[in-house]
Amino acid sequence: MMRISKSPQERKQEIIEAALELFMSQGYEKTSIAMIVERVGVAQGLFYYYFKSKEDVFQEAMQFYTDRLATEVIGELLAPEAASIFERFSAVIEHLSSMFEASDLVFNSDLNTGLVKEIDIQLSYYFSVTLVEPVAVLISLLEEKIGQSLGDVNQLSAFVVFGIFGLLHGHHDIGHQRMPTPEFLATLLARTIGVDVAMLLKEKIEIPEGQI
């Protein structure tokens, strides 16, 4: 049977996705390079053509995972259907809760591994930075809806997003904290931007096409 020829980028992406699946299901420590190449069906030599080590592919796999998650979360925040900010944040929290459960082996059981801890913090920060703009879009649209200026929307958005980042990581070195409830986040956001929480619960916001 003739082997399908793939571009170097396609082959590298295959290895990254196979590694991600194994890291998620087996944890970092129990995943080996041999397991990764067996899943893809390539020789170990090809693995080392693209990656220097297991640590190297782990970092790229987590970056791929974070990018994919950010795209999905932004899609929830800026879904075109009319929805309140509370409803949008609720969808995001449900999504992130599922993600935390799926990645428990990597980001809790193995978080005593220095490399894993370091990458977790780096990517969580990167993920938070990515969310500042879409949250700012929501605050701007809320301003238009209620006819009231809420101040510097970018600063407000950064304060809210990184406040959530702090809540998730807490003061502990190991593990993620429990995901805050939508009600708590709605109250936090309302107090931060200076509106009644009822506005976030009831005011429906539509996202204009091509907004972000």
pLDDT digits (tens, 9 = 90+) for 87-120: 998 888 887 777 766 666 666 555 556 666 777 7
**One-letter amino acid for residue 81 of the chain:** E
Q: What is the pTM of this model?
A: 0.79
The residue written with tokens 């193995």 in the block is: 110
Note whether 54 and 13 are within 8 A (CB): no
7-46 pLDDT, tens digit each: 889 999 999 999 999 998 888 888 999 999 999 999 999 9
Q: How far from the centroid of its chain's Cα atoms is residue 41's Cα?
A: 29
Is the confidence at residue 2, as pLDDT, over 50? no
Task: Give CA–CA dist 34/32, Å, rounded.
Answer: 5
| Residue 187: count of CB within 10 angstroms of its CB | 14
Provide the β-strand partners of residue 83. Answer: 205
Note whether 180 and 167 are within 8 A (CB): yes
